[in-house]
Structure 1
Amino acid sequence: MRFTELAVPGAYVATPRQIPDERGSFFELLRTEELSRVTGGPFEPRQVNFSVSRRNTLRGIHSVTVPPGQAKYVTCVRGALRDIVVDLRVGSPHYGTYAVNHLTAESGRCVYVPEGVGHGFLALTDDATICYILSTSHVPGTQIDINPLDPDLALPWGFTEPPLLSPKDAAAPTAAAAAAAGLLATWQPVS
């Protein structure tokens, strides 16, 4: 597996080495000791979630308060997604920087989202399915929702018609409002 750091510090895309044969193909999705070596910290899965979306569904931008914090390792297991991570860590020299990745079931590519970084995606196909491997279990009341259409973030979703948003995401505050409310994580430089 090859890891490449994204424009958002601490976020990585993982590209597996696929082994094809006449039956199909095989690849490793996650090797925690390798991810921990690359990121410089442990990643111990605590919860696995799936989300199934119809084409043009926009989900996110989501994060979790610190504490408890939550790192994510995400991949597309059916269909295709335009995946975006955005640095929401207050004080980060890269605050507002984002990285876009095209995830498909066929590619097996994964994105590692560190604590304090926001995540969202646009479903490019019907029945698009994303798998989230999470470093912490869900704790009610710790979810941070940022409006994915926040004009200050100006994320390049690439939709050609208005996306389908949940009422919660459509009513979510801007990143600036969330920062002013003290909801966002604080940048912790690596020493």
Structure 2
Amino acid sequence: MKGLSRLLLLTGLLAFQISFGQDSEPELSLEQGTIDSQFEFIFKNAGNYRADGKRYEVVRANNLEKLRNNVKDSMNAARTKAAQLNATIAGHESTITSLNQKLEETTKSLASVTEEKDSMSFIGIQVSKGTYNFILWTIILALLLMLLLFIYRFRRSNYLTQEAKANLAELETEYEDHRRRALEREQRISRQLQDEINKYKKSK
């Protein structure tokens, strides 16, 4: 009786483990997932046979055509993303140029205020030295705050530009990697197909 209980317990645990393992594995499909997973789907769903001691894989033509279209779509999406990143970079560069111009204007304004700081006339009105100094330092502090704001925005724009360039480089690397793998697999399949054609011709 104990042996039967242990057998049932082991069977239940094994069934649970198999069920859990199946749930955790991602479902392969040509309709979704990465290009690598779609290639995995092609390989798993390919037929195979042995001839002359060699193993051959047979891939459905419609699956291969679907995979090729998916690769083309991925390439087009990568090109679109690259164009968007280039546009973002151009926008950041324009912002940086504008900020540089504003920074130069602010520096000139600060120099102009410094040159006129000894004057007791403010907008054509004579004011006391204390009031004049208060107004002057208020303007200088405001300009310094603007300068700090422009520097922050400049650095932020530069960071975003570098990040966009890094994302573009990563995207280009991933695209080249996918393209190389797809080309290698397509060449391998073409060679296998040519070998089959040659065998068929020889058998005639």
User: How high is the TM-score relative to the length of structure 2?
Assistant: 0.20
Higher Cα Rg, which structure: 2
Higher strand share: 1
Higher RCO structure, 1 or 2 (CA under 8 Å, sep 6+): 1
Considering fraction of residues, name the structure with more helix.
2
TM-score w.r.t. the length of structure 1 is 0.21
